[in-house]
Structure 1
């Protein structure tokens, strides 16, 4: 056997692995690009100043019944 057929036979599996690696890198880059596009197009979360004041965290998590009644009075709609 000459050296040429032996070298040619040994090069095919490595060529396949190189092509598979290139395809994998292209797929990963495409996935990253697609993910960054989706993230940019998604709505940003509201800033604290833009949030509803009723939905914001209170500084004090405990209230007396009197404080709770006062808060309820503030938020009642006129009849």
Structure 2
């Protein structure tokens, strides 16, 4: 094989890897975009009992124990 043929053969693999990288980046951006849209559509979290909120960091879990 000549030098030009060798360089052309090596360039095919790097071109494939560059295209695979671009496809991967596009898929990741698309997944982030889809997830953020889905997150915005979710219902807001239900508010908890205010007494339970103030006791959330305590060791005692039940008032009687």
TM-score above 0.5: yes
User: How many pairs align?
Assistant: 58
Counterpart residue number, 2:31? 31
Per the TM alignment, residue 4 of structure 1 is displaced from its structure 2 partner at its CA by 1.0
Once the two structures are superposed, residues 32-76 of structure 1 have per-residue CA deviations (whole angstroms, 9 ceiling, x without a partner) of 00000000000111345xx6x7xx52867118xxxxxxxxxxxxx
Q: Which runs of 5+ in 1 are unaligned?
A: 64-79
Counterpart residue number, 1:11? 11
The two structures have a TM-score, normalised by structure 2, of 0.72
Which of 29, 51, 63 does residue 61 from structure 1 map onto?
A: 63
The two structures have a TM-score, normalised by structure 1, of 0.60
Structure 1 residue runs of 4 or more that deviate by more than 4 Å after TM superposition: none
2-structure distance, mates of 1:42, 1:23: 29
Q: Name the larger-Rg structure.
A: 1
Q: Which runs of 5+ in 2 are unaligned?
A: 56-61
The Cα RMSD (Å) is 2.5
